[in-house]
Amino acid sequence: MVNDQMVNRKRYFISFAYDGTSFHGSQSQPNGITVQETMESAFATILREQVALTFAGRTDAGVHAEAMVAHFDFDKNLPANLAARLNNLLPPSIAIRSITPVKEDAHARFDAIARTYYYRITTRKDPFTYHTHTRVAQGLDFEAMNIAAQHLLGTQDFASFCRAHTDVKTTICTVTEARWIQKNEDEAIFVITADRFLRNMVRAVVGTLFEVGRGRLTEAQFVDIIASHDRQRAGHSAPAEGLSLVHIQYPVSVVSH
C-alpha cells in the first residue's frame, strides 16, 4: 500500500529577502556563515530532512536581497504554514515571503530572464541607513554619470567589470536599464537591469561611474574601459552595503502551475 503522505516529487519556488550585513555571501562556502546554510538548517529542522536550495544568483558578503528566489524539491506534502514556521526559526535578517509550487523543471537560476539591482548612496551620516547605503562625499556629477551609464546598454562583453579568475563560460551580458535616480539632495539610487550579472559586476560598474562623477574619467575613457575587457582599467569596486537585488523576472510559463 502506498503511503498517503508520499506524493510525486514537487518543485517549489521560495521568495525571500535578507540583510546581508552579517553573512559571508548568499551561497554555502567553507568559511563563514551564509544565507544558504542558515536557510537549509531551518528547513531541515522543520521538515526533518535535508533540503538543497538552488539560488537564482549569488551575492557577495555584505550585499542584500529584497527579492531573492530559490527552488527546492520535496517528495512529501509540505506542512501547513511552512513559511510562517520558517520565519519563526530564521534570524531577523532573513524573511520568507512565499513558497509556491512550480513546474517540475522550473529553475530559479537558469529560467530567470532579467534581474534588477539597486545601488543606494547617501551623503548624510545616518545610523538608520548605514547598512543599506554607501556614504559618499558630495559633488558627484549625476548628469555625467548618466551619460556614461548609457554606454552600458545593449549586449556586449563586460569582462572589464568582472572579478578576475571567475569561472564563467562567457562574460557577455545584455543590459536593458542603467541610470542614476536622485531621490533628494542627500540620496540617489543606481538602477541596473540585465539578463545576467557577472561576479562583482554591479559594484565594479558603480565604482567606475564614481570616477566619472568625480571628474577623474571622461565619457570617452569610460567607453574605452568597456571596450578594453580589462578589469585593471576599471575603477575600484564600490562597497558592498549599498547593493541590493530588488527584482527577478521569470516567464509566466515557468511560474504558472
Kindly list the catalytic residues. 60
Grid-cell match 526533518, residue found:
48
Burial class (CB in 10 A: 0-12, 13-18, 19+), 152: buried
Pairing of strands 243-249, 64-76: parallel
- The SS3 of residue 154 is strand
Calpha distance 170→165 (Å, rounded): 12
Give the separation between CA 82 and CA 108, rounded to whole angstroms: 19
Task: For residues 50 and 68, give the distance between their C-alpha atoms in angstroms, rounded to a whole number.
Answer: 21
- Which residues on adjacent β-strands are paired with residue 12? 72, 101
Beta bridge partners of 6: 76
* Cell 527579492, located at residue: 67
